[in-house]
Amino acid sequence: MANNPADHPPGNSVAEGNHEGDFGVSMVDLRTVMELRSTEAVNKIRDTYGDVQGICRRLKTSPIEGLSGNPVDLEKRHTAFGQNFIPPKKPKTFLQLVWEALQDVTLIILEIAAIISLGLSFYHPPGGDSEACGATSGGVEDEGEAQAGWIEGAAILFSVIIVVLVTAFNDWSKEKQFRGLQSRIEQEQKFTVIRKGQVIQIPVAEIVVGDIAQIKYGDLLPADGILIQGNDLKIDESSLTGESDQVRKSMEKDPMLLSGTHVMEGSGRMVVSAVGLNSQTGIIFTLLGASENDEEKKVKKTKTQDGIALEIQPLKSEEAAESEEKEEVKPVKKVNVTKKEKSVLQGKLTRLAVQIGKAGLIMSAVTVIILILYFVIDTFGVQGRQWLAECTPIYIQYFVKFFIIGVTVLVVAVPEGLPLAVTISLAYSVKKMMKDNNLVRHLDACETMGNATAICSDKTGTLTMNRMTVVQAYIGDTHYKTVPEPDAIKPDTLEIMVNSISINSAYTTKILPPEKEGGLPRHVGNKTECALLGLVLELKRDYQPIRDEVPEEKLYKVYTFNSSRKSMSTVLKNADGGFRMYSKGASEIILRKCSRILDAQGQPRVFKPKDRDEMVRKVIEPMACDGLRTICVAYRDFPAEAGEPDWDAENDILNELTCIAVVGIEDPVRPEVPEAISKCQRAGITVRMVTGDNINTARAIATKCGILLPGEDFLCLEGKEFNQQIRNDKGEVEQERLDKVWPKLRVLARSSPTDKHTLVKGIIDSTVGETRQVVAVTGDGTNDGPALKKADVGFAMGIAGTDVAKEASDIILTDDNFTSIVKAVMWGRNVYDSISKFLQFQLTVNVVAVIVAFTGACITQDSPLKAVQMLWVNLIMDTLASLALATEPPTESLLLRKPYGRNKPLISRTMMKNILGHAVYQLVIIFTLLFAGENFFDIDSGRNAPLHSPPSEHYTIVFNVFVMMQLFNEINARKIHGERNVFEGVYRNPIFCSVVLGTFALQIVIVQFGGKPFSCTALTIDQWLWCVFIGVGELLWGQLISAIPTHHLKFLKEAGHGITKEEIPEEELNEGTDEIDHAEMELRRGQILWFRGLNRIQTQMDVVYTFQTSQAAVPGALRRQPSVVSQHNDATAAKTLSSPTHIGLSSSSSLTNSGGALPPAAAASSSTAGN
């Protein structure tokens, strides 16, 4: 093997000037190799480079030692072959966000009204002031006041600008937060490479061409590479090719490994041959114009539900791939991809907002019509005036004023603060959840968690500490209750056991010295293997010398562990030409394959089925009942005379074993778990344990955790039994059978990943209870992917989890701890409550403001609250209140109630009682002040003031009282379940306090110094005290309302339900539809056509490009693979398209699988499938 040429001084390079000349192979050469598959690739490598070692030599890297890690060398590799980084799309600039915020319809109407009003105020027609125009121009004190007509228009424009800036800033900070989160997820992605002969983990972005990377089960490959050494390697390439079959990789047949694919089984080493934009995933992204230029055209598509463009970085194109694959296989199920699109809460909110908006629109239209009619009848009918040409501008000015009042009513009625409140609440929660070890990947997962009714948890690592140690052993006919002394075991037995454990385990698994003095040794790699290596160390032996003697290259054949085998075996070739195989695995499985066992003398004796049953009864079951996991270690010799066995006939190979020992491994329950589980049970959440362990171990641990309580008739099933109970004779899962099992099921042992998926799907689809179950699932293995994706919320383990599991999850538990899930439930419920609090506050203001503006306008021809004042109220209500109420920290008391369920209305009866109760108080006060306030305060009346008259004290007091009542009602709104103490825990929320005090201070400034723009005059201290006093009355009134028991108020309606099945037209209830949001449907019809058009063009361009570059060898790679964003939107669109477009696509999308490029028409139609 070549020595490490990377250590040579760069002077030896071929051509100094040309960067690529430093290496014996250029980027283009490598790229051509990487585009080939299987035998073609093998031949090309053989013809051009001799073998993979030849490529390593040219890349100046050693297959054993790896790169030197010298910064100069790494820098060179960056220049020659690029970096392992696919540049993300540029974030939206602040100005783009401002522009988006300006698209709001109500704001546009206001802007137009304000501009017309401005224009008219500057237009003074000759003779317009004559008496002929009636009272219109009366009441103007002097010229200066008349000139001030522009102020109102300007003030409205100014407040619109404020609202827009605030919205844009929120969007901007939200996107920034999201990107921060994204980059954090990416930085945490590390990969194992060999440098200077040391195995180290480096961030994915630092991988360079020529690195030797170690790959193992569960990895998501970060770059393209060529296999140098592999054991039983199987790769899932569906993310690139759409083929769901796993591809076997080997040096002889197919050594090409592609970035973005998943290792499903086995392990090995590869030399990295392409990174970043030059890797296969990178090439597809460049092809799809994920780089800047084309993206501009697609900007229209990237606005997802709540204004965040949910871009997940390209390397993460897993989701897109998954959904592509789902489309291929069963066109009908395609709707499932949309599951993550719209959460329950957003569905309810959109519906509620649309309902409120419609009501507001009607109110404002009626207001305008009444005002205009009244004015016209009064001026031209009652006073009998003529319409004179010179008076037209003055009349129009009146009409504009009425129009502005109407729009203002609309602005106040439409709760555009709702999406803002949701976003702030979610963003705040996500930020805080980071501290609680929850890294949220999909914002809405956090709120869904609050509704969770069931948690299916793994055992190992989540409920237990995942720090495995061997505590009992059965060796040489003796059952040791503690680890025996080395001299208690026969030397031969000890020798073979130590060898078996050291060689038959992943070489990446190690036990390292503790980081801190006196700490526990660090376990690296597979925890079960660590326990066995720990046993070797406890027997005063060392595994490292044995591994050095038999390096990985010398392993003849490795059967790696996977979920169906539940065992691992390694074959070595002996000097005499025979073979020895070491095996280990779950004890009941390996013991079934054993025909001999080593006795006390270390000699093999016959091991019959009855011996085995006795051993199970006397050794394995007692161990399992102590909550231990039992592992059997065995070996088998193949004599040289018999010739080489057929290694692919796995069942014959893994037979006739000789059992060496059975060990019991303890994985202690985390001390905080029992408490967390009892919290879940109090909160109405059922915790189920799904584990691959044996049923006795599982039952013991479940009892320790409190999942099984003594004296309750809960079910503990093994996977086999579970399947017998839920499947019919044909082996299909029947929902009715499943419904009989799951409500009582608490522990599912010896379960396969498919069992987990079946259980989760069964619980979610079940219609047994009154509400649909919301299921959270934890998973760490690659095989948990489907269950994590299917669940409403998938939790992946941050430490033990594989990349595939993290990819499929919604939340990553950075400490792998079950208690963090309970925290997530608390935050989820808190989000829901925060939004209800905000709604309760907002709707009270809405009801009052709309009624006041409406009746005031109809009776006095002028809204008591001016447009600018309304906008200020709107600002308090929307932006500031959502800040204050959406950032309430959660309390433990949230876990004392049952989950709300998916169909529970947002506004409960209690809340409706509060809203109407407070509205009554406020309306009574306002109308009293409006029609009798001048007598009470002894001031001039402000009613029926002419156009452009100066602001009156009377209306200022009305406005001030209104704001004071809102402020104090904001404190009332902190409690929504009818609690008495509204101040409870208020000091724990500094944001709330500062918002309330800040609003109060601003109100003083507006009233005292706001003057003409705010239509305010300064008030005296007495008047101020009265205003505050009336405001405080809100708190007392709140106590009175909460004293009325809600159950007497049967007439109160709830509002903001989720969509029920009955309301959805038949044809939309096709299989797999989750929530169809009708409010959204209206808005989406146009967008869908737009998407489809875009996608057709895009697909046709891709196809043409394919033909030009004639890369027919990789048809799969060129298929549309949009970034997650457009996938997201396409998916939503697919959801909202209820027309029969789903049908007939199966034929066209099956074309895609048949290899070869497609005719443009077929490509276009299959791409429409995505839309």
**Which sequence positions are flagged as catalytic?**
458
Cα–Cα–Cα angle for 565, 566, 572, nearest 5°?
75
Stretch (H or E) spanning 749? strand 745-749
Residue 987's CB: how many other CB atoms inside 10 A? 9
Task: Name the token pair of 746.
Answer: 């608490």
Q: Is the dihedral of CA 1099, 1084, 415, 409 positive or negative?
A: positive
- Give per-residue burial for 583-601: e unless 16+ CB within 10 Å, then b: bbbbbbbbbebbbbbbeee
Task: Name the token pair of 331.
Answer: 């066109």
Task: Name the token pair of 626.
Answer: 């102590």
Cβ-contact 503, 698 below 8 angstroms: no
- Give per-residue burial for 939-955: e unless 16+ CB within 10 Å, then b: bebbbebebbbebbbbb
Task: Name the token pair of 1070.
Answer: 């096709």
- Give per-residue burial for 180-196: e unless 16+ CB within 10 Å, then b: ebbeebbeebebbbbbe
Cα–Cα–Cα angle for 649, 653, 655, nearest 5°?
130
Task: Name the token pair of 683.
Answer: 């909160």
Q: How far apart are CA 734 and CA 684, in angstroms?
A: 27
How are beta strands 686-690 and 745-749 bridged, if at all?
A: parallel
Task: Name the token pair of 1108.
Answer: 């030009």
Instruction: Give the max Cα distance, the chain.
Output: 126
Cβ-contact 725, 696 below 8 angstroms: no
Percentages helix, strand, coil for the chain (3-state, rounded to 5) are 55, 15, 30
Instruction: For residue 455, give the 3-state DSSP assignment.
Output: strand
Stretch (H or E) spanning 754? helix 753-765
Cα–Cα–Cα angle for 129, 135, 136, nearest 5°?
60
Q: How far apart are CA 358 and CA 686, in angstroms?
A: 41
Contacts of 915 (CB under 8 A, 6+ apart): 840, 843, 844, 847, 907
To the nearest 10 degrees (0 to 180), the angle between helices 818-860 and 867-875 is: 170
DSSP bridge partners of 230: 268
Task: Name the token pair of 908.
Answer: 């409960």
Cβ-contact 901, 451 below 8 angstroms: yes
Q: How far apart are CA 371 and CA 861, in angstroms?
A: 6
Cβ-contact 643, 443 below 8 angstroms: no
Cβ-contact 455, 791 below 8 angstroms: no
What values do phi and psi take at 250, rounded to 5? -150, 165
**Region of residue 163 (phi > 0: left; psi between -120 and 50: alpha; otherwise: beta):** alpha
Q: How far apart are CA 345 and CA 22, in angstroms?
A: 58
- Residue 861: name the closest of 413, 155, 386, 367 by CA: 367
DSSP bridge partners of 777: 456, 794
The residue count of the chain comes to: 1171
- Residue 590: name the closest of 625, 620, 617, 618 by CA: 620
